Amino acid sequence: DAKTTQPNSMESNEEEPVHLPCNHSTISGTDYIHWYRQLPSQGPEYVIHGLTSNVNNRMASLAIAEDRKSSTLILHRATLRDAAVYYCILGYSTLTFGKGTMLLVSP
Amino acid sequence: SQTIHQWPATLVQPVGSPLSLECTVEGTSNPNLYWYRQAAGRGLQLLFYSVGIGQISSEVPQNLSASRPQDRQFILSSKKLLLSDSGFYLCAWGGGGYYSGNTIYFGEGSWLTVV
C-alpha cells in the first residue's frame, strides 16, 4: 500500500474549523483516499473517502489536491466529541493504518 | 442495514491457553472480512483478511490463525497464547472484491489480556 504522512498531533478550540493534512506523494491512479477516526477504546469509524474530486458528507469535507499528492480533512466546527486519532489511508484490497493524527479539542 | 457482531468483548487468558474470537456480519453477502490488532499505545495492525469462504490471507506471521467457515463468519484462533498477544482485536467487513473505493466497517472490538 502507498504510504501517507500525517502530523502526530494537532490542537483546536471547540466551534472552530479544523484542517487535518495528509501527504501521499506515491499515490497511484487507482488509490482512493480514505479517512477514519478512532475514539479511545473504540474501533475506527469511517469518516469520508474520495478519488479525485472534493467530497462532502455530514461528518466532514475532503479536499484533494489537483495532483492528488496531498489531501485535507476538514471538520467545519470542531466539538469535544471530535477528539480522536484521525487516519489518512490509501487502500486497495486492504487498508493499512499508520499512526494517524491525534486531534485535541479544547472547550 | 449491515451490522457486525464480535465476541467476547473482554477476556483474560493465561499464557499457553487457547483463544477463539468470533465475528459475524449481517445484512450483506460475500463481504471481505478482516482481523486487526492494536497493542497498547500502538497503531492498528492487519492480521488476516478473507475475500471468501476458506480463503484467508495472513499479513503477519505469528501464532494466530483465522478461519472463515461460513460466508459471514470469521474466527480468530490461537492454540497457545503468548504475553505479546495481548491487545485490542477488531473484526471488520467491507464490500466484496478488490476495489479501492471499498470502505470497511469495524466491530466493537475484543480486549484480550494474556497473564
Q: Is the dihedral of CA B68, B13, B110, B87 positive or negative?
A: negative
What is the per-residue pLDDT for B61?
A: 66
Q: Give residue-wise pLDDT tens across range B12-71.
A: 999 999 999 999 999 988 999 999 999 887 788 999 999 899 999 998 867 899 999 999
Chain A contact set for B59 (CB, 8 A): 94
C-alpha cell at A78: 470542531
Angle at the Cα of A61 from the Cα atoms of A8 and A98, rounded to 5 degrees: 30
A43: nearest CB among B43, B101, B109: B109
Tally A–B CB contacts below 8 A: 50
DSSP chain A: ----B--SEEEEETTS-EEEEEE-TT--TTPEEEEEEE-TTS--EEEEEESSS-EE-SS-EEEE-TTSSEEEEEESS--GGG-EEEEEEEESSS------EEEEEE-
Put simply, the answer to whether A43 touches B32 (Cβ < 8 Å) is no
Q: What is the pLDDT of residue A3?
A: 85
Asked if residues B101 and A91 have their Cβ atoms less than 8 Å apart, the reply is: no
User: Which chain A residue is nearest to residue B104, measuring alpha carbons?
Assistant: A46
The chain B residues in contact with chain A (CB within 8 A) are 32, 34, 36, 43-44, 46, 49, 51, 59, 88, 90, 92, 98-109
Residue from B50, B46, B51, B81 nearest B63 by CA: B81
Is B36 close to A97, i.e. CB distance below 8 A?
yes
Q: A52 and chain B: CB distance < 8 Å anywhere?
A: no
CA distances (Å), B86 to each of B63, B64, B100, in order? 12, 12, 31
Note the pLDDT tens digit of each residue in A75-107: 999 999 999 999 999 876 677 788 899 999 999
Task: Measure the CA–CA gap between B38 and B43, rounded to whole angstroms.
Answer: 6
